[in-house]
Amino acid sequence: MNTFYTSEVGATLWLDQKACVILKHGNLLLGFCRGETCDTQGIITFFYPDKKGVDEAYQKLKERAVTEPEENEKFRIYHFFAKDPEDRTIEVQCFLHPLEPYQDAVEILESRRSIRHYQNTEVPLSVLQKIFEVCRFSPTSRNSQSYYFVVIRDKEILKWLASLRGEPSAPIGRAPMAVAVVSEPQKSGAYIQDGCIAGYHFILACWGHGLGTCWIATMDRPDVKKAIQVPEEHYIVTVTPVGYPAHVPEAPPRRGAEEMVHFI
């Protein structure tokens, strides 16, 4: 069945849980699980970023729920089942492990938060490679490609960087790694703008892969450049911590679009 959807329909593998395979086609996810019988009706599954979202959904659907929220160690999920008004089975869950990107552009832009506390979990090199592959497409003045990234995993350097600006730089010390975004003045007359765009490109790509960041400014200093082996004439746009969030803060109040947009 999976071969039909991959070779005939053009779906790609999104998540392999051995007994349950999830395929992706555009913004559609299709899950196929092994069982004793073939289920031709299917299950409608809604997933949330965390347990809190599942618990809140359970309170709304409690009268229709057929199970209580619980962890499923086999699939590493937290979920419950309910019935819709026409007796279809609904599953509400969150994954208890990192995921491949699934959010659309609007969701990423609206949900991104500055993360200042991180899990003690290393970021796999394979995930970083995917992020940097996306960052190759960050635009620059005249396609100068004047930016580059420095990955910092040395614990002593991270601790020192975290101490430089007090609380504003402290998040660097709480993350398993940091990334410096650097630009080269000799390559572009707009090297600062190039670097800032690349930095935000990186931040959004990280968020799409489930990683938190926090823009730490005022790190273009001789001592920082020496510590992370950046030439003195290059410009450090930011040094951002990178890691899986320990906590995602609620969105702060935002002014309406009508207050920030002016037409002339």
Residue 147 lies in a domain: yes
- Residue 154 and residue 89 share a domain: no
Q: Are residues 219 and 121 in the same domain?
A: yes
- What is the 3-state secondary structure of the chain? CHHHHHHHCCCEEEEECCCEEEEEECCEEEEEECCCCCCCCCCEEEECCCHHHHHHHHHHHCCCECCCCEEECCCCEEEEEEECCCCCEEEEEEECCCCCCCCCHHHHHHHCCECCCECCCCCCHHHHHHHHHHHCCCCCHHHCCCEEEEEECCHHHHHHHHHCCCHHHHHHHHCCEEEEEEECHHHCCCHHHHHHHHHHHHHHHHHHCCCEECCCCCCCCHHHHHHCCCCCCCEEEEEEEEECECCCCCCCCCCCHHHHCCCC
Q: Is the pLDDT of residue 4 over 80?
A: no
Same domain, 109 and 69: no
Are 66 and 164 found together in one domain? no
Among 12-26, 101-115, 140-154, 158-172, whose mean pLDDT is lowest? 12-26
Domain edge (last residue) among 39, 66, 95: 95
Q: What count of Cα atoms within 13 Å lies in the side-chain half-sphere of residue 139?
A: 2
The answer as to whether 100 is a domain residue is: no
Q: Is residue 79 part of a domain?
A: yes
In a domain, 257, yes or no: no
pLDDT at 9 over 90: no
71 located within any domain:
yes
Split into its structural domains, the chain has a count of 2
pLDDT score for 40: 63
CA distances, 86 to each of 64, 190, 202 (Å): 11, 59, 44
Q: How confident is the model over 52-78, as a mean pLDDT? A: 94
Q: Is residue 13 part of a domain?
A: yes
| pLDDT above 60 (res 1) | no
Q: Is pLDDT above 80 for 65?
A: yes
Instruction: Say whether both 85 and 142 belong to one domain.
Output: no
Per-residue pLDDT band at 126 (split at 50, 70, 90):
very high
| CA pair distance 203, 39, nearest whole angstrom | 41
> What proportion of the chain, given as a percentage, has pLDDT over 70?
95
pLDDT, one tens digit per residue, over 184-238 is: 999 999 999 999 999 999 999 999 999 999 999 999 999 999 999 999 999 999 9
Q: What is the pLDDT of residues 137-180, one digit of tens each?
A: 999 999 999 999 999 999 999 999 999 999 999 999 999 999 99
- In the predicted model, is pLDDT for residue 2 greater than 70? no
For residue 121, what pLDDT is reported?
94
CATH number for position 69: 3.10.180.10
Instruction: Look over the chain and give the mean of its residue pLDDT values, rounded to a whole number.
Output: 92
* Domain annotation covers residue 255: no
Do 31 and 148 share a domain, yes or no?
no
**137, 220: one domain:** yes
Please give the distance of CA 9 from its chain centroid, rounded to a whole number. Answer: 28
Q: What is the pLDDT of residue 27?
A: 67
CA distance 245 to 121: 10
pTM of the model: 0.82
Provide the domain limits for residue 221. Answer: 105-243
